[in-house]
Homo-oligomer: A and B are copies of this chain.
Amino acid sequence: MMSPYPSFGFVTPRNMGLLVDLYELVMADSYLRQGMNQPATFDLFIRQLPPHRSFLVSAGLESALYYLEHLRFDDEAIDYLAGLDLFSGAFLEYLRGFRFSGDVRAIPEGEIFFPPEPVMQVTAPRIEAQIVETFLLNTINFQVMVASKAARIILAARGRGVVDFSPRRDHAADAAMKAARASSIAGCVGTSNVLAGKEYGISVYGTIAHSYIMSFADELSAFRAYARDFPHNAILLIDTYDTVQGARHAIIVAREMGARGGKLRGVRIDSGDLASLSRQVRAVLDEAGLHDVQIVLTGELDEYKIERLLAGGAAADTFGVGTELGTSGDAPSIGGVYKLVEDERGPRVKLSTGKATLPGRKQVWRMRPAGGGVRDVIVLEDEPPLPDAEPLLVSVMAAGATTHQEDLVEMRARCKERLATLPAAFTHLHSTPEPPVSLSPKLEALKAQMYEQAAQAERRDGDLGQRDP
């Protein structure tokens, strides 16, 4: 069954149906044979905050909806599955006609949320709802992780621009795309990733590398060449040799550019004591009257380093952040899960220590008191609206058709507003307050009742088999 090599293994609209854990298909086949295909509801939620996080940012919904709407199994997929000698003919025929026909509610992208709120709730015939688990988790987990990390970096930058420079360190190709997208939602001003610029309409940023400078006889020659070729967009990398001397070379070139009708856009510093060097460079530029030449700082930055740089008086207009933005080194995975919460028998719970689920179809209401603060209440879907509160879960897909479309501008605006009004306890990089989330009395009662029932069922179930004395 091996494709001719060399192969890359691209994931495309045509084959994405097979980007699925085998067990989803195994269970789906069994459900089909057992005639178990009544509507069921699954929550996609994150059990607890990752280390160092006090909130999460919703992201990935659009790609999830794209997946749900376009998910198919073509002949090539069916042939491969048939060759595994595992599935029933009826199931393979079922897959051949597969269309996701379910309803989805979700927290819009750019919204802040807290565990254990469902960020997405899928109601669909059980087989459909089961098959989509792997891909939904794959795309949502990562984008929530990046958006939540990027939000911290953006908070640390205190109004200065943050640009995604992560593609070379992201976990392969799709991560580079989704990192650019999710960090843009969180508020990054752009990305170095040209394809993300094209596909998502994000601004693209780029300067030059040390190897460019080193490819010329000396720094000034390199600056002059680059400035001639890019008379309006040049950002000169000034730390290849001596940074302050590099700034002086940049001034020479800025004046030459000005004389030709161009304009130096900025300088970049990528190494050394960035706080001290950036201050010196700012002073040298200002002294030369180049107040609007921007300073871009890069070099293995994250929110902690940016916070220290600004506390140390760094002069920066923009931060380029790569590895840490794209891989979230202090919390490199999000433990999002996808759990059955209701089926034709009513609400369901999973009974495992530390792995509790909340039964039933739910809504999350957010209260933002005028005096500041944020309080969320998770309620059962059929409870009446809470006063002075907004529902976080909105309908995004009905009967398999997307009903909710936003562009990145709206998502970014939402996230910006939320971050601006989030209490300091949550925006402080080093505090990790408890999620401000409670359950409605009705949900609490249902949960308690379900757990009692489940415990009884477990005891009964235990009695079904033989027992040692």
A: residues with CB less than 8 A from B are 1-3, 5-13, 15-16, 18-27, 29-31, 33-34, 36, 40, 42, 62-63, 65-67, 69, 77, 80-81, 84, 86, 88, 126, 130, 133-135, 137-139, 141-143, 145, 165, 167-178, 181, 192-201, 204-212, 214-215, 218-220, 225-226, 228-230, 233, 240-242, 245, 248-249, 252, 271, 323, 327-329, 332-336, 338-340, 343, 348, 350-353, 355, 402, 405-408, 457-458, 460-462, 464-467
Contacts and interface: CB of A to CB of B under 8 A. Distances in A.
Given A11-B173, A138-B176, A229-B30, A206 B25 contact: yes
A173 B71 CA distance: 14
A340 B215 contact: yes
Contacts of A271: 352-353, 355
Given A218-B457, A229-B30, A248-B465, A329 B340 contact: no
18 contacts: A2-B200, A9-B195, A9-B196, A19-B177, A19-B195, A20-B193, A23-B207, A31-B215, A34-B225, A135-B173, A137-B168, A138-B173, A143-B172, A168-B338, A172-B178, A245-B461, A323-B335, A327-B332
Contacts of A81: 194
Given A215-B343, A405-B5, A23 B208 contact: yes
A192 B36 CA distance: 24
Nearest to A237: B23
B18 A198 contact: yes
A27 B27 CA distance: 52
A335 B324 CA distance: 11
A171 B327 contact: yes
B63 A458 contact: no
B11 A195 contact: yes
Contacts of A197: 1, 22, 80, 84
A168 B12 contact: no
Contacts of A62: 5-8
Closest 7 CB pairs of A and B: A22-B206, A2-B201, A332-B332, A171-B171, A23-B206, A137-B168, A18-B195
* Interface hub of A26, A137, A171 (most chain B Cβ within 10 A): A171
Contact of A80 (B66, B167, B198, B225): B198
B210 A66 contact: no
A250 B21 CA distance: 23
Q: Which of A137, A175, A195 has the most CB of B within 10 A?
A: A195
Given A9-B63, A11-B174, A194 B22 contact: yes
A21 B168 contact: yes
